[in-house]
Every structure is written in C-alpha cells, then in structure tokens.
Amino acid sequence: MGRFTQYLGKLEITVDGQKLELDAQLKDKEKLMKTQTMKDEDKKVGLLTEVFMDIIKRSYPEEPVSELESFVDKNYLEYMQELMIAFKWASKEDFDTVKKNKLIKG
C-alpha cells in the first residue's frame, strides 16, 4: 500500500434518490475547471456533458449507454451540484443559500 492509498476511494453522491459510487479522476477535474474560463456557452455545456458522461460510463461500464445518457439528461443540475460537493468545490449550504436568495428576489 502506498502513502496516498486513502485517496483512491470512489466519490459517493446521491442523485434522484439513488446512491452512486463514481470513479472520478484528476483529468475530469481539470476539464471541469477549464469550463470556468470558457466564453462559448455551447462549448462549455458540451464539455460539461462530456465529463459527466465519462465519469458515469467509467463508474458503471456494464450499464447501457442510452440509459446513462438518459440519467444524466434528466438529472443534469443535481448531478453537477453533487459532483461539486463531492469535489469539495462547494457545499450543500452554498446551493441552499443560492436557492433561498433566488426565491427571495424572484
């Protein structure tokens, strides 16, 4: 066992009531961070979708791709939020605050 074995674990998230174990890798984080500087919204969404699909396909290779695509499509925002929380880029409270502020202003 190596010194950094503890960091090999999969990310655990819950989306649409389903617990998922995701095999996210450093290259996924790098691509997601790249979207922050992208100006072209269509390319940004395309890259986000690509990374989301790469992660779920790698994590569940035995599942039909059409079902994985449908899952990501139906749960896009929740999946993105849960990944951001799992990556420790945001907290659940951050998202709750944003939602609360939108309701107050809306």
pLDDT tens-place string over residues 54-99: 999 999 999 999 999 999 999 999 999 999 999 999 998 988 888 7
Would you list the domain boundaries of the chain?
A: 8-105
Integer Cα distance of 41 and 104 in angstroms: 27
State percent of the chain over pLDDT 70: 94
Q: What is residue 22's three-state secondary structure?
A: strand
Q: In terms of Cα–Cα distance, which of 45, 31, 33, 106 is closest to 76?
A: 45
Integer Cα distance of 83 and 80 in angstroms: 5
Give residue 19's pLDDT band: very low, low, confident or very high (50, 70, 90).
very high
What pLDDT is stored for residue 105 in this prediction? 65
What pLDDT is stored for residue 6 in this prediction? 64
pTM assigned to the model: 0.84
Higher pLDDT, 3 or 66: 66
